Amino acid sequence: MDVTEARPDPELLAAATAAHLRAYCPYSHYRVGAAIRTESGAVIVGCNVENAAYPLGSCAEAGAIAAMVAAGERSIVEIVVVTDGDTPGTPCGGCRQRLREFAGAGVLVHSVSASGPTTTMTMAELLPHSFGPEFLDDH
């Protein structure tokens, strides 16, 4: 598949957009919503949640991953992240590693600006030469 031609699944995009609109960001005013499709087909969402003690906020991707794990899921097959601004925002470094824990190298990550532009890349492009659970003896 040519990743540059890939478009987010409409259901996943709608879920991420709805989560984006529910974000709690009174300080940065930068809303982020994430939607994950799991191997079972479930769609799980998260949004950023800021806190007056700035480093205690949480990212949309981290929230979606936590909800996914709480639901008993362990494998991501596609991700959509919707952000404010004219340019799509990609997951932060920490969330790239969090996503990598549950998403293989070929999983598509769609970063979508609320105003329309979309960037799509594979997990391997988003986090090249990554360290994942397969490098540990326990897996």
CA distance 102 to 67: 13
Query: Could you give the 3-state DSSP secondary structure of residue 70?
Result: helix
Catalytic residues: 61
Tokens of 81: 């992240």
Tokens of 45: 């969402």
Amino acid at 33: G
CA distance 1 to 121: 11
Q: In angstroms, how far is the first alpha carbon of the chain from the final one? A: 29
